[in-house]
Amino acid sequence: MTDPSATADVTDRPSGAAESVVPQRVREFLDSTETPCLVVDLAVVRRNHGALRSALPDARICYAVKANPAPEVVGALAALGASFDVASPGEIDLCLAQGAGPERISYGNTIKKRRDIAHAYERGVRLFVTDSEPDLVNIAEVAPGAQVFCRILVDNKGSRTPFGRKFGCPPETAVRLLRQARELGLDPYGVSFHIGSQQLDPAAWEHGISAARQVFEGLAGHGIALRMVNLGGGLPGSYTEAAPPLAEYARRIEQSLDRHFGADRPDLLVEPGRQIVADAGVLRSEVVLVTPSAADDRRWVYLDVGRYNGLAETEGEAITYRLRTSRDGDPCGPVVLAGPTCDGDDVIYQRNVYELPLTLRGGDWVDLLSAGAYTASYSSVCFNGIAPLATYCVDGDERA
Amino acid sequence: MTDPSATADVTDRPSGAAESVVPQRVREFLDSTETPCLVVDLAVVRRNHGALRSALPDARICYAVKANPAPEVVGALAALGASFDVASPGEIDLCLAQGAGPERISYGNTIKKRRDIAHAYERGVRLFVTDSEPDLVNIAEVAPGAQVFCRILVDNKGSRTPFGRKFGCPPETAVRLLRQARELGLDPYGVSFHIGSQQLDPAAWEHGISAARQVFEGLAGHGIALRMVNLGGGLPGSYTEAAPPLAEYARRIEQSLDRHFGADRPDLLVEPGRQIVADAGVLRSEVVLVTPSAADDRRWVYLDVGRYNGLAETEGEAITYRLRTSRDGDPCGPVVLAGPTCDGDDVIYQRNVYELPLTLRGGDWVDLLSAGAYTASYSSVCFNGIAPLATYCVDGDERA
CATH of the domain at A207: 3.20.20.10
Q: How far is B328 from chain A (nearest CA, A)?
A: 21
Answer with the one of A242, A272, A302 that is the final residue of a domain. A272
In a domain, A202, yes or no: yes
What single-letter amino acid sits at B254? E
Q: Which residues of A touch B303 (CB under 8 A)?
A: none
**Does residue B156 contact residue B176 with C-beta atoms inside 8 Å?**
no
Q: Identify which of A12, A33, A32 has the alpha carbon closest to the alpha carbon of residue A21.
A: A12
Shared domain check, A296 and A215? no
Least Cα separation, residue B379 to chain A (angstroms): 5
CA separation for the pair A260, A340 (Å, rounded): 50
Q: Are strands B159-161 and B147-151 parallel, antiparallel or unpaired?
A: unpaired
B122 interfaces chain A, CB cutoff of 8 Å: no
Q: Are residues A291 and A215 part of one domain? A: no
What pLDDT does A159 receive?
81
Instruction: Give the pLDDT of residue B12.
Output: 41
Q: Is A62 a catalytic residue?
A: no
Q: Three-class SS string for B249-280?
A: HHHHHHHHHHHHHCCCCCEEEECCCHHHHHHH
Q: What is the pLDDT of residues A173-207, one digit of tens each?
A: 999 999 999 999 999 999 999 999 999 999 999 99
Q: Hey, is B54 helix, strand or coil?
A: helix
Check whether residue B191 and residue B321 sit in a common domain: no
* CB atoms A385 and B90 under 8 Å: yes
Examine the domain organization and report whether B110 and B35 are in the same domain.
Answer: no
**Please, what is the Cα angle at A378 between B272 and B391, to 5 degrees?**
45
Same domain, B111 and B28: no
Q: B294 and A170 in contact by Cβ < 8 A?
A: yes
Whether the CA torsion A370, A371, A372, A374 is positive or negative: it is: positive
> In this structure, are A208 and A134 located in the same domain?
yes
Q: Which residues of A touch B112 (CB under 8 A)?
A: 288-289
Q: Do A384 and B161 touch (CB under 8 A)?
A: no
In a shared domain, residues B239 and B349: no
- In what helix (H) or strand (E) does residue A20 lie, and over which residues does it extend? helix A18-21
For residue A387, give the 3-state DSSP assignment: coil
**Rounded Cα gap, residues A243 and A267, in angstroms:** 27
Nearest CA in chain B to A301: B111
In this complex, do B289 and A363 lie within 8 Å of one another by their Cβ atoms? no
B-chain CB neighbours of A383 within 8 Å are 66, 377-378
CA-based nearest distance A181→chain B, Å = 17
Whether the CB-CB separation of B374 and B21 falls below 8 Å is answered with: no
User: Domains in chain A: how many in total?
Assistant: 2
Range of the domain at A181: 69-272
Q: Residues 78 to 117 of A: which have CB under 8 A from any B CB? A: 86-92, 94, 108-109, 111-114
**ipTM score here?**
0.93
What's the Cα-to-Cα distance from B368 to each of A133, B300, B311, B350, B381, rounded to whole Å? 27, 17, 10, 16, 21
Q: Can you give B142-167 as a three-state secondary structure string?
A: HCCCCEEEEEECCCCCCEEECCCCCC
**Who among A91, A166, A292 is closest to B385 (CB)?**
A91
- Phi/psi class of residue B298: alpha, beta or left (left: φ > 0; alpha: ψ in -120 to 50)? beta
- Domain assignment present for A64: no
With vertex at residue B74, the alpha carbon angle to CA B68 and CA B78, rounded to the nearest 5 degrees, is 150
How many CB pairs below 8 A link A and B?
203
Could you tell me whether strands A187-192 and B147-151 are parallel, antiparallel, or unpaired per DSSP bridges? unpaired
Phi, psi of B216 (to 5 degrees): -55, -45
Phi, psi of A14 (to 5 degrees): -70, 85
**Do B165 and B153 touch, CB atoms closer than 8 A?**
yes
Cα angle for residues A118, B303, A138 (degrees, 5° grid):
30
Alpha-carbon gap, residue A82 to A71, rounded angstroms: 14
Residue A247 near chain B (CB below 8 Å): no
Asked if residue A274 lies in contact with residue A236, where contact means CB atoms within 8 angstroms, the answer is yes
Nearest CA to A150 out of A124, A201, A186 is that of A186
Cβ distance B380 to A378 less than 8 Å, yes or no, reads: yes
**Which chain B residue has its CA at the smallest distance from A174's CA?**
B294
- B347 in contact with A at a CB cutoff of 8 Å? yes
- Put simply, the answer to whether A384 touches B88 (Cβ < 8 Å) is yes
Mutate to test the interface with A, among B137, B384, B386, B391 (most CBs of A within 10 A): B384
Residues in chain A predicted with pLDDT less than 50, given as ranges, are 1-19, 399-400
Which residues fall within 8 angstroms of residue B128, CB to CB, at 6 or more apart?
Answer: B106, B107, B117, B120, B139, B143, B146, B147, B148, B149
Q: Is residue A177 in a domain?
A: yes
Which three-class secondary structure state does DSSP give residue B168?
coil
Best of B34, B106, B301, B381 to substitute, by most chain A Cβ atoms within 10 angstroms, is B381
Q: Tell me if residue A28 falls in helix, strand or coil.
A: helix
pLDDT of amino acid A295 = 72
Output the domain CATH number for residue B375: 2.40.37.10
Residue pair B193/B232 in contact (Cβ under 8 Å)? The answer is yes
Tell me, yes or no, if A199 comes closer than 8 A to chain B by beta carbon: no
Domain boundary among A253, A272, A291: A272
Cα angle B51-B57-B61, degrees, rounded to a multiple of 5: 70
- Do A344 and B166 make contact, defined as CB atoms within 8 angstroms? yes
Is A171 a member of any domain? Answer: yes
Does the N-terminal peptide bond of residue B36 adopt cis geometry, omega within 30 degrees of 0? yes
Closest partner residue to A90 (CB to CB) among B291, B362, B387 is B387
Do B207 and B338 belong together in one domain? no
Determine contact, residues A87/A67, Cβ cutoff 8 Å: no
At A115, is the secondary structure helix, strand, or coil? helix
Of A342, A347, A387, the CB nearest to B87: A342
B108 in a domain, yes or no?
Answer: yes
Instruction: Identify which of B240, B241, B280, B274 has the alpha carbon closest to the alpha carbon of residue B22.
Output: B280
For residue B54, tell me if it sits in a domain: no
Nearest 5°: the CA angle B226, B231, B237 is 170
Q: Among A383, A386, A389, pick the best mutation site for testing chain B contact (most B Cβ within 10 A).
A: A383
d(CA A152, CA A164): 12
DSSP B340-353: SSS-TT-EEEEEEE
Closest residue in A to B379 (Cα) is A380
Print pLDDT tens along chain B (400 aa): 333 333 334 434 333 344 457 888 899 889 889 999 999 999 999 999 999 999 999 999 999 999 999 999 999 999 999 999 999 999 999 999 999 999 999 999 999 999 999 999 999 999 999 999 999 999 999 999 999 999 999 887 888 877 788 999 999 999 999 999 999 999 999 999 999 999 999 999 999 999 999 999 999 999 999 999 999 999 999 999 999 999 999 999 999 999 999 999 999 999 999 999 999 999 999 999 999 876 778 999 999 999 999 999 999 999 999 999 999 999 999 999 999 999 999 999 999 999 999 999 999 999 999 999 999 999 999 999 999 999 999 997 654 3
Among B169, B294, B381, the residue with its CB nearest the CB of A377 is: B381
Q: Measured between CB atoms, which of A90, A163, A166 is closest to B382?
A: A90
| Whether B124 and B213 share a structural domain | yes
Question: Residues with Cβ < 8 Å from A221, sequence gap 6 or more?
Answer: none
Residues B298 and B374 in one domain: yes
In a domain, A345, yes or no: yes
Nearest CA in chain B to A349: B166
Catalytic residue among B62, B342, B382, B393: B342
Angle at A145 between CA A140 and CA A147, to 5 degrees: 90
Helix (H) / strand (E) containing A354 = strand A347-357
Beta-bridged to residue A336, according to DSSP, are: A300
Last residue of a domain, one of B248, B272, B296: B272
Residues 32-51 of A with CB under 8 A from B: none
Model confidence over A65-107: pLDDT tens digits? 999 999 999 999 999 999 999 999 999 999 999 999 999 999 9
Q: How far apart are CA A89 and CA A38, in angstroms?
A: 25
Instruction: Return the pLDDT at B157.
Output: 81
Same domain, A241 and A110: yes
Residues of chain B found within 8 Å of residue A312, distances taken between Cβ atoms: 380
**3-state SS, residue B393:** strand
Q: How many C-beta neighbours within 10 Å does residue A33 have?
A: 13
Same structural domain for residues A29 and A95?
Answer: no
In this prediction, residue A10 carries a pLDDT of: 40
β-bridge partners, A305: none
Interface of B with A in 323-342 (CB under 8 A): 338, 340-342
CA angle, B345 then B162 then A284, to 5°: 60
B1: in domain: no
Q: Which of B134, B378, B381 sits opposite A290 (nearest CB)?
A: B134
Count other Cβ atoms within 10 Å, centred on residue B32: 7
**pLDDT (0 to 100) of residue B396:** 78
List the single best residue of B345, B361, B391 to mutate versus A (max A Cβ within 10 A).
B345
